[in-house]
Amino acid sequence: MDKILMMGNAAIARGAYEAGVKVSSAYPGTPSTEVSENLVKYKDDIYCEWAPNEKVATEVAIGANVAGVRSMAVMKHVGFNVAADPTYTVSYMGVNGGLMIVVADDPGLYSSQNEQDTRMVSRAAKLPVFEPSDSQEAKDFVKIGYEVGQKFDRPFVLRTTTRLGHSQGFVTLVDREEVEDKAYTREVVKNVMMPGNAKARHTIIEEKMRELAEAANALSINKVEMKDTKIGIITSGIPYTYVKEALPEASVLKLGMVYPLPKKKIADFANKVDKLYIVEELNPFIEEQVKAMGIDCIGKEIFSNEGELSSNIIKKAILGENPEIVAYDKLPGRPPILCPGCPHRSTYYVMKKLGIKAAGDIGCYTLGAVAPLSVVDTTICMGASISSLHGMEKAKGKDYIKDWVAVIGDSTFLHTGMNSLLNMVYNQSSGTVVILDNSTTGMTGHQDNPATGKNIYGDPAPQVDLVTLCKGIGVKNVRVVNSFDLPELEKALKEETAREEVSVIISQSPCVLLTKGKKPYYKALSDKCKKCGMCLKPGCPALTKNEDNTITIDDTMCTGCGLCFDLCKFNAIEYVPLEK
């Protein structure tokens, strides 16, 4: 069979294909996005889609499962919170066709607003959790999960982390298993979760979880590797690979299913080793349960609750090894920034000029919080810009938010922002919402959404009209402005923030990364430059200040957006059109 190099997320998609999955719904979110992007390859066998949010995606998958096919929903860890409502209850319902929820955690916060641990949420929802440690397992655990889930009537969570999802390793492919659809039969006690039925189902699923915990002792992916018995390690997922590298001679109990735990196997293993360590990233999830069993072990006493582990960290914590590493300190940091030519930059520049603060949201435009733009004051979760601005007004009155707006991207607005806007209208807010409409879901790598006019396959799809949508919700003042039209933006922001009614400004210009290939650029003319520094104010990375305070524009980075050109009062910046 074919053996190919595959990213963890691509392997999960392949696993879904091989396991006979037929329906997938997802909302993009780093580090989970590539699962769905890779599912597109299997379009003849799997229907997949981008949903407007994770709650919708999960419900779509639940419906497909009720109808009798293997289905899945994919999201990042914070998206799992959005999906919590259906998740906690579908747990009571159990499965028909089979249901997997892929949830990607982000230890180390490479691209997230928190470091929450999906294992804790899954446990609270009483869902089995599978955790692969490399691409091969990422693929294989999908099928195992469906088999276990179907046997014990459980939906299940496939938990990954950034390191797993974005690492590549070899994967051996097998053919797709054509799973026969389960018949749909009306089963009110199982599928209608009203109090009486849910109460009965709760009893059943508690029993199912006990049975599964027992079966976990014999589950092949919970595997013991007995070697030297001085040190025993219980671990799972990516940390397993760090353990193998750091302590190749140690005995290891590697858990492929991290919830519910195989208690007998753990007790057995603990008995055989002199000293037992639990090696896991983020929360002491396994550790606390092992300690609750009355087993002596060491975990978070020597490991952090934060960030990723590594073999060096394990060597240091367990063996006390401390190799001398001298790094250069006090180097200037290199935080992410808005790209050259990003339309958010010009919108923010105008807001900054007017002294407007922003309640922010989740997307590239969160980067408006950092200098020199420093416009965004808050960022919480998807949709929160609009609702939190409303809360500020209700706390402090209309005048308090005269110099505030909410900023939110097109995809985030459709995710959960529009509910918040409805609340603003309904409860008579006077706030201003700026929708930064760049015609894509930018941060996660340009996925389509209901406003782009294309579906996940790139095929034409109905396109929601944001103006009509906002008006339909009841916003009377909606205006559309080109993000690079500075005077028009300034006028709109001044007028709408002064207005004592809800208003929406749609600042529109496509993400600069959507168009590939050579672009025109601008050139700085040092002889005309008066060194005033105006062009540097928006913080475009293509511009550098020279020793003599004139500037240089990097022609490979410049995209020809013209923001610096518009700001220069001395004609010291010149347009260089594309060569024909």
Partner 1 sequence: METKNIMIVGVGGQGTLLTSRVLGNLAEEAGYDVKISEVHGMAQRGGSVVTYVRFGDKVEEPIVEEGMADVIIAFERLEALRYFHYLKKGGSIILNDQRIDPMPVVIGAAKYPEGIIEELKSKVDLHVVDAMSEAKKLGNSRVFNMIVLGMAAHYMSFPTEMWKKVIQKTVPHKTIDLNLKAFDVGYSLVK
Euclidean distance between CA atoms 99 and 112, whole angstroms: 26
CB of 135 to partner 1, least distance (A): 9
11 near partner 1 (CB under 8 A): no
Among 307, 372, 453, 474, the residue binding partner 1 under the rule CB under 8 A is: 372
Task: Judge contact between 443 and 112, C-beta under 8 A.
Answer: no
334 near partner 1 (CB under 8 A): yes
**Between residues 422 and 536, which has the closer beta carbon with respect to partner 1?**
536
Backbone angles phi, psi at 266, to 5 degrees: -65, -45
**Between residues 427 and 544, which has the closer beta carbon with respect to partner 1?**
544
Q: Which of residues 141-170 bind partner 1 (CB under 8 A)?
A: 163, 166-170
Stretch that binds partner 1, among 175-183, 211-219, 484-492, 533-541 (CB under 8 A): 533-541
Euclidean distance between CA atoms 282 and 299, whole angstroms: 11
Q: Which of residues 73-102 bind partner 1 (CB under 8 A)?
A: none
**Between residues 446 and 491, which has the closer beta carbon with respect to partner 1?**
446
Stretch that binds partner 1, among 30-38, 116-124, 212-220, 406-414 (CB under 8 A): 30-38
Determine the Cα angle at 318 with ends 243 and 230, to 5°. 85
Task: Judge contact between 457 and 36, C-beta under 8 A.
Answer: no
| Binding residues with partner 1: total (CB under 8 A) | 52
Among 185, 186, 328, 395, the residue binding partner 1 under the rule CB under 8 A is: 328
30 near partner 1 (CB under 8 A): yes
Backbone angles phi, psi at 437, to 5 degrees: -95, 95
CB of 5 to partner 1, least distance (A): 5
549 near partner 1 (CB under 8 A): no
Euclidean distance between CA atoms 434 and 175, whole angstroms: 49
Residues 6+ apart with CB under 8 A from 472: none
Dihedral-angle region of residue 7 (phi above 0 means left; psi in -120 to 50 means alpha; beta otherwise): beta
Q: Which of residues 228-287 bind partner 1 (CB under 8 A)?
A: 238, 241-242, 244-245
CB of 114 to partner 1, least distance (A): 14
Which amino acid is residue 353, in one-letter code? K
Q: Which of residues 107-136 bind partner 1 (CB under 8 A)?
A: 110-111, 134
Q: Which of residues 400-459 bind partner 1 (CB under 8 A)?
A: 443-445
String of DSSP letters for 238-251 = HHHHHHHHH-TTEE
Among 219, 370, 422, 532, the residue binding partner 1 under the rule CB under 8 A is: 370
Stretch that binds partner 1, among 95-103, 368-376, 406-414, 498-506 (CB under 8 A): 368-376
CB of 130 to partner 1, least distance (A): 19
2 near partner 1 (CB under 8 A): no
**Between residues 111 and 477, which has the closer beta carbon with respect to partner 1?**
111
Task: Judge contact between 217 and 265, C-beta under 8 A.
Answer: yes
- Integer CA distances (angstroms), 215 to 129, 315, 442, in order: 14, 33, 44
331 near partner 1 (CB under 8 A): yes
Euclidean distance between CA atoms 33 and 43, whole angstroms: 17
String of DSSP letters for 301-358 = TTS-SSS---HHHHIIIII----------SPPP----PPTT-HHHHHHHHHHHHT-EE
**Run of H or E including 266:** helix 263-272
Residue ranges that bind partner 1, judged by CB under 8 A: 5, 7, 30-31, 33-34, 110-111, 134, 163, 166-170, 238, 241-242, 244-245, 310-312, 323, 325-328, 331-339, 364, 367, 370-372, 443-445, 536, 539, 541, 543-545, 556
